């Protein structure tokens, strides 16, 4: 798998000094997290975070969908792209993922649209090499 994932996983949430939140500056450590911590990598890797985001997304739920509809192979193919999106919307440092609540929804929408392009995106222009 991609090098970006291994870089992100380099941090370890339960080792070392508290990690300062880039939004509110509160130090975070196990058992003491500020409200901007959306995920810690001891809960899973960035792809598991992305799945969690989809499953808790009002946008996806409102359409009656869930991440279980997305085949494993798609996650694998899109892995680098998903990690990139996670890092665009969230600050990942030392095993913590920080972000605002609205960022969860933004990420869920982007991933879901990538998996399931909506009618307004003309299907004919999509060239799928796989």
d(CA 30, CA 10): 17
Binding Zn ion by CB under 5 A: which of 2, 5, 11, 34? 34
Nearer to Zn ion, 84 or 100 (CB): 100
Which of 51, 56, 57 is closest to 109 using CA atoms? 57
Q: Does 29 bind Zn ion (CB under 5 A)?
A: no
Q: Does 21 bind Zn ion (CB under 5 A)?
A: yes
Which segment (16-24, 52-60, 75-83, 107-115) binds Zn ion by CB under 5 A? 16-24
The 3-state DSSP class for residue 37 equals: strand
Binding Zn ion by CB under 5 A: which of 14, 18, 24, 29? 24
Query: What are 102's two structure tokens?
Result: 């609205």
Inter-residue contact 48 to 72 (CB < 8 Å): no
Using CB under 5 A as the criterion, which residues of the chain lie in contact with Zn ion when the complex forms? 21, 23-24, 34, 36
């Amino acid at each position: 798998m991609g090098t970006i994932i291994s870089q992100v996983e380099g941090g370890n949430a339960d080792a070392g000094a508290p990690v300062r939140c880039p939004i509110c500056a509160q130090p975070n450590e196990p058992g003491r997290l500020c409200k901007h911590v959306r995920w810690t990598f001891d809960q899973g890797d960035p792809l598991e975070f992305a799945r969690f985001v989809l499953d808790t997304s009002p946008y996806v739920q409102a359409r009656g969908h869930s991440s279980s509809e997305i085949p494993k192979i798609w996650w694998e193919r899109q892995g680098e792209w998903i990690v990139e999106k996670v890092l665009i919307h969230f600050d990942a440092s030392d095993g913590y993922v920080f972000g605002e609540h609205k960022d969860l929804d933004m990420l869920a929408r982007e991933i879901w649209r990538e998996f399931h392009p909506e009618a307004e995106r003309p299907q004919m222009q999509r060239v799928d090499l796989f």
